[in-house]
Each structure stands twice: as structure tokens, then as C-alpha cells.
Amino acid sequence: MHTNDYETIHRPVLLDRCVELVAPALRHEGAVAVDCTLGLAGHAVAFLKAAPQARLIGIDRDAEALELATRRMEQEGLAGRFTPVHAAFDAFGEVLERAGVTGVDAVFMDLGLSSLQIDETERGFSYAHDAPLDMRMDVGQTLTAARVLAEYDVDALTRIFRAYGEERFARPIAREIVRRRAAHPLTTSSQLTGLVDEVVPQAHRPAGNPAKRVFQALRIEVNGELDKLAGTLPQIANRLNVGGRLVVESYHSLEDKTVKSFMAQGLKADVPDGLPMVPPDAMPFFREITRGAVKADAEEIARNPRSASVRLRGVELVRPIPDRWRRRFDTHQSAHRNGRRR
């Protein structure tokens, strides 16, 4: 597969803007970047080309994507500055420890699905194709969408459809799933889309396929996406060098809310309201570099329809993180790590 083939499979979202945000932190000897969601390395290749002195660690839980990305780096002549790692991004701290890296200068996250995962119909991510209900980003794990639908009770299914899909008819859909599976298990995407189509009233359907929220919720549950994101951001902050940047692309409101809330902690003074003077150690430690969320313009969306829902946010670490915040972040990381290992 050649470079043009990779671009045909997956067109990176807001590529030029992401390079503008990431590259300034990498223009010094020994600079280290981490792409937590490597995919087919579209963004990663651009970062390395824009910052010839930098090296990049690329993390991905999808072994197939990692293999293709590594091959692409070789074709681009960038393999000497690239380290591939097969892991979920919530192992961020462990990945750096194994690599002997104590601090990094830029971290990039492109959340959501890659085009490779969407277009491989046998993975079952898309409601547009009939396929087994798998939805695993890492095919080595045991939990699948079909297993969730077969084993979760009405309350649990309702919770994930409501929390992760913001589905108004979460409980009726959950009840119908449990009722039907008593006779026949739900194993394919067409079975699930048909069920949702029957349950959701015509007058209350969202634009597009009525099953899209249920599919989103299942994908998030199967892959633990929001928990992993919330557990990873503190790890990243504690390992950013001063002047380092964190840049994140989100594709639905729950991801963006998690990212925005985390970044906001470092963008405001850590003092009670009304205090006449802010002590130096309570000053903000992040600087916003995107002025809120950057969205794709009409031209980008026309060129790459999957960019329509993107929200791009970035911050720069402007001073060392205060010890009390480091301890909070370490505590959060430890709790997440223990949760993963239970």
C-alpha cells in the first residue's frame, strides 16, 4: 500500500490546523510527541514532517492499524523517528515508562473511529452495513456488542443507551432487546437497526438512521471509551513539559464535555471567588490555544464528511503543575488503573 492509498482509506480531520497547534512545541532538539490514537498515521506523518527534530510515539489498540501505520512510516522515510506501541491510550503512563521517557512536548488525540474501522464491515461498527455485532477496537478483548445485548439487563442497557447515546427511548429499546433475546439472540447490525426502527416513534426520530445513538452507546460501552479518556487526560498533564501542548479532536458531545471539563481545571486561577490577589502558585497552568472548540468549515466538510461533528481543543502548559494538582491527577490515575485491573 502506498501513501495515496492510505489517504484514500482515511483523510485526517482538520490536518493543517492540528499541525499548526502541535508543531510549535516540537521545534527543538530531542522533542517528543505522542499520538495516542495513531490510526493510519495521517496526523503523525504530518507532525514529523513539520518538526524534523522531533520523534513520535504512536499508540493504538488496533493491531491492524498499527501495522499499516508502521509500514507507512517506513515508506515516508520516518521510521527512525517513530516508535509504534500496541496499547489502549489509558496505558499512557506505562507506555512512557517502558520507553524511558519522563516528559513529552506534545500529545495528540483523535477520538472516535478511524475510517479503517468504519469501512471494515465485519467489525460491526456501522449501522449502514449488515455485520456481526462486534464493535471491538482491540479484537483481543472478550467483550463485544453482541455480548452486551445478550447479558445486560434492562436497567443496564437503559443506562448505557441514555448516558452514552443520549437516547430518549432508551428504556423501551432495552425492554424490547431483552424480550426478543429470550427467543433469538441479537447478533447482527441489521437485527438491531430493525428493532430500533420499530421501537422509536416516527415523529421523534433524529436526522439519519434512528439506530445511530444506540450504536454509539454500544461502541462506547464495549471499548470503555469515556472511562479511558477521563483516566488518560490526568496522565498526560502530569507528563507534559512546560511549553508542551495537548491537542484533542472529539466527535460527540460526551467526549467534548470530558475534554473541556478537564482543560478548564488548568485554565482558571485556583482560588476562592473574591480574593483580591492571586498567589503565584494558584495561577492557571494551562493556556488555551484554540479559543474554545474549533469546528470544520463548509469546505472541510465537503472534502471530508466525517469532519462534520469534530470539536478541536488545545492547551499549552505554561508553568509547572502545582503539587496539589499533580497529587489529584496521580490519585485519579491510580483509581483508573485499579479499575482496569479488577
For 117-222, the fitting CATH number among 2.40.10.10, 1.10.150.170, 1.10.3720.10, 3.30.70.100 is 1.10.150.170
Q: Residue 58 annotated as binding? A: no
pLDDT (0 to 100) of residue 192: 96
- What pLDDT was estimated at residue 342? 38
80 within 8 A of 46, measured Cβ to Cβ: no
Cβ neighbours for 68, distance < 8 A, ≥ 6 positions apart: 1, 6, 40, 41, 116
Q: Across residues 278-292, what is the average pLDDT?
A: 89
Residue 41 counted as an annotated binding residue: yes
pLDDT at 121: 55
Residue 293 pLDDT exceeds 70: yes
Residue 125 has pLDDT above 70, yes or no: no
- pLDDT of 165 reads 92
Question: What average pLDDT does this structure show over 213-218?
Answer: 94
The pLDDT assigned to 153 comes to 98
Where in the chain do CATH 1.10.150.170 domains reside?
117-222
| The pLDDT of residue 152 | 98
pLDDT tens digits, residue range 56-91?
999 999 888 999 999 999 999 999 999 999 999 999
Three-state DSSP class for 98? helix
Region 271-281: what's the mean pLDDT? 75
Cα–Cα distance, 313 to 129 (Å, whole number) = 32
CA separation for the pair 107, 10 (Å, rounded): 21
Which residue type occupies 174?
Answer: A
pLDDT per position as a tens digit, 240-270 = 999 999 999 999 899 999 999 999 999 988 7
Q: Is the pLDDT of residue 33 over 80?
A: yes
42 is in an annotated binding site: yes
Q: Where are the beta strands (DSSP E) in 176-279?
A: 240-250
Residues 103-131 have a mean pLDDT of 73
Q: How far apart are the first and last CA of the chain?
A: 40
**294, 16 contact by CB (below 8 A):** no
SS3 at position 25 = helix
Closest CA to 65 of 108, 36, 98, 34: 36
The fraction of the chain above a pLDDT of 90, given in percent, is 73
pLDDT of residue 183: 95
Whole-model pTM: value is 0.86
- For residue 328, pLDDT beyond 90: no
Q: Specify the DSSP class assigned to residue 206.
A: P
What pLDDT sits at residue 123?
A: 55
Question: CA angle, 114 as apex, 112 and 118 as ends, to 5°?
Answer: 100
What confidence score (pLDDT) does residue 150 get? 97
Is a pLDDT exceeding 90 seen at residue 26? yes
Q: Please check the confidence at residue 304 and state whether its pLDDT lies above 50.
A: yes
User: Any binding-site annotation on 99?
Assistant: no
Alpha-carbon span 215 to 282, nearest angstrom: 43
- DSSP annotation of 12 reads P
Pairwise CA distance, residues 54 & 31, whole Å: 5
pLDDT of residue 114: 56
**CA 225 to CA 221: how far, in whole Å?**
7
Answer yes or no: is 117 a known binding residue: yes
Strand order in the sheet with 55-60: 82-86, 55-60, 32-35, 104-110, 240-250, 311-317, 286-288
The more confident residue out of 84 and 225 is 84
H or E stretch at 146: helix 145-151
**3-state SS class at 271:** coil
pLDDT at 341: 44
Tell whether 262 is in a known binding site.
no
pLDDT digits (tens, 9 = 90+) for 141-170: 899 999 999 999 999 999 999 999 999 999
Which carries the bigger pLDDT value, residue 221 or residue 11? 221
**10 carries a ligand binding annotation:** no
Least confident among 21-25, 54-58, 101-105, 114-118? 114-118
Give the SS3 label for residue 167.
coil
Residue 190: which pLDDT band, with cuts at 50, 70 and 90?
A: very high
Mean pLDDT score of the chain: 89
Q: Please give the class, per CATH, of domain 3-116+225-341.
A: alpha beta
The CATH 3.40.50.150 portion of the chain extends over: 3-116+225-341
Q: What is the rounded radius of gyration, in angstroms, for the C-alpha atoms of the chain?
A: 21
Averaged over 13-35, what is the pLDDT? 97
